[in-house]
């Protein structure tokens, strides 16, 4: 089992994560440090509150 790699697609587990990650990438480019910090804090909060894919519960 050495050298075995497992890849997990987070967008399958959490469908909304792509939107959050794109928002974070956009926020990272922001010139204003205060605005950048607010955007990234908002992204972290959204990630903590993500709901898992309902298909996985059945």
Cα separation, 27 vs 55, whole angstroms? 31
Question: Tens digit of pLDDT for each residue in 13-50?
Answer: 787 888 888 888 998 898 999 999 999 999 889 888 88
pTM: 0.65
Specify whether the CB–CB gap between 39 and 27 falls below 8 A: yes
What is the residue extent of each domain of the chain?
A: 10-50
Please give the biggest Cα pair distance in the chain.
47
User: Quick one: residue 3, left, alpha or beta (phi over 0 = left, psi -120 to 50 = alpha)?
Assistant: left
Task: Report whether pLDDT(53) > 80.
Answer: no
């Amino acid at each position: 089992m050495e050298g075995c790699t497992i890849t997990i697609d987070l967008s399958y587990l959490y469908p909304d994560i792509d939107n959050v990650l794109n928002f974070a990438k956009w926020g990272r480019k922001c010139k204003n440090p205060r605005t950048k910090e607010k955007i990234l804090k908002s992204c972290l909060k959204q990630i903590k509150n993500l709901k898992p894919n309902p298909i996985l519960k059945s």
